[in-house]
């Protein structure tokens, strides 16, 4: 008699976890946009990874030395980390240039690309309804981006490119990293951040003003860290660990289709922060495209 009650409790807990995770994620992304003129992206990645790598590395070394943990797929964890790094770079490079709501709509085309890549690479057949959903989703993208019009900005393609990288990372995770501990993959990602940020910072220094002008969010001159930036960096590092843990737990204790549906609440939060922090009001094209992408994503998830 108690089984349904336990199951319902798990479902509600899973919903609470995913809503909390996307709330934190949307706030973290809005904060990155807010600090983008005061903190270079490579500088952020370097400082965050300098906090995360020693902590995660110590934990991993302790577990491996005690025989409690084995890392079985280093090459695939590396590939996944590089793909996710490219996703973050593409997405965060776009935030100083376009409204947060538009970037959010573009990055949430990920389920569509996952469906396509899973069909091509993962040998998972996509039904006719799935292909219709993909077509509807990309129609929504076209409405938001409006290619060929005066309102079109090449920067809006960056979150779409980020969505492709994220989808590829998820396919790699599903096929090759399912047995790895989530914190092992988190360490791999932070090591990728550390290495890339070191080279990115050097490139920013050597490239000069011309390179910085071409990509101000990516190659901004490294800035002195004040107390506000320090609080943001530490909070961001903690938020990333919390988001990853909460998301993983949510998908473990509740149906994936249900959790994936609530994942789209990120779009609402992104529009909220865009309005409250940046005075951004989404236009009719953004709302219309968002609705189509939401419908398409839900159809793909529920297949």
State pLDDT tens for residues 60-97.
Answer: 888 888 877 777 788 888 998 999 899 999 999 888 88
Higher pLDDT, 127 or 57: 57
pLDDT in tens, 259-268: 767 777 888 8
* CA distance to 7, 147, 186, 302, per residue, from 180 (Å): 26, 41, 10, 26
CA-based nearest residue to 194, from 55, 36, 35 = 55
The dihedral through the CA atoms of 258, 238, 234, 191 has a sign that is negative
Q: Cα(303)–Cα(293) distance, rounded to whole angstroms?
A: 15
The dihedral through the CA atoms of 195, 107, 220, 49 has a sign that is negative
Q: Taking the domains of the chain in order of start, what are their residue ranges?
A: 16-302
CA-based nearest residue to 109, from 173, 160, 174, 170 = 160
Whether the pLDDT of residue 124 is over 70: the answer is no
pLDDT in tens, 128-172: 777 777 787 778 777 777 665 555 667 788 998 998 998 888 888
Q: Cα(35)–Cα(175) distance, rounded to whole angstroms?
A: 36
């Amino acid at each position: 008699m108690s089984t349904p009650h336990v199951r319902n409790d798990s479902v509600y807990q899973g919903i609470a976890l995913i809503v909390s995770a996307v709330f934190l994620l949307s706030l973290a992304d809005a904060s990155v946009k807010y600090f983008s003129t005061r903190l270079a992206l490579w500088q952020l990645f370097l400082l965050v990874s300098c906090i995360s790598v020693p902590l995660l590395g110590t934990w991993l070394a302790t577990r491996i030395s005690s025989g409690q943990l084995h890392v079985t797929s280093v090459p695939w964890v590396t590939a996944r980390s590089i793909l996710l790094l490219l996703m973050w770079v593409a997405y965060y490079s776009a935030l100083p240039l376009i409204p947060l709501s538009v970037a959010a709509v573009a990055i949430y085309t990920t389920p569509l690309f996952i469906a396509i890549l899973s069909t091509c690479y993962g040998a998972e057949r996509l039904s006719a309804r799935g292909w219709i959903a993909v077509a509807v989703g990309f129609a929504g993208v076209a409405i938001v981006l409006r290619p060929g019009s005066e309102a079109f900005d090449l920067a809006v393609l960056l979150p779409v490119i980020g969505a492709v990288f994220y989808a590829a990372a998820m396919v790699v995770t599903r096929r090759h990293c399912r047995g790895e501990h989530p914190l092992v993959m988190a360490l791999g990602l932070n090591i990728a951040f550390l290495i890339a940020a070191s080279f990115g910072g050097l490139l920013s220094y050597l490239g000069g003003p011309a390179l910085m002008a071409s990509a101000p969010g990516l190659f901004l001159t490294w800035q002195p860290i004040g107390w506000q930036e320090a609080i943001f960096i530490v909070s961001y590092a903690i938020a990333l660990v919390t988001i990853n843990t909460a998301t993983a737990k949510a998908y473990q204790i509740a149906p994936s289709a249900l959790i994936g549906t609530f994942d789209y609440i990120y779009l609402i939060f992104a529009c909220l922060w865009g309005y409250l922090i940046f005075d951004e009001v989404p236009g009719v094209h953004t709302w219309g495209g968002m609705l189509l992408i939401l419908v398409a994503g839900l159809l793909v998830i529920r297949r």
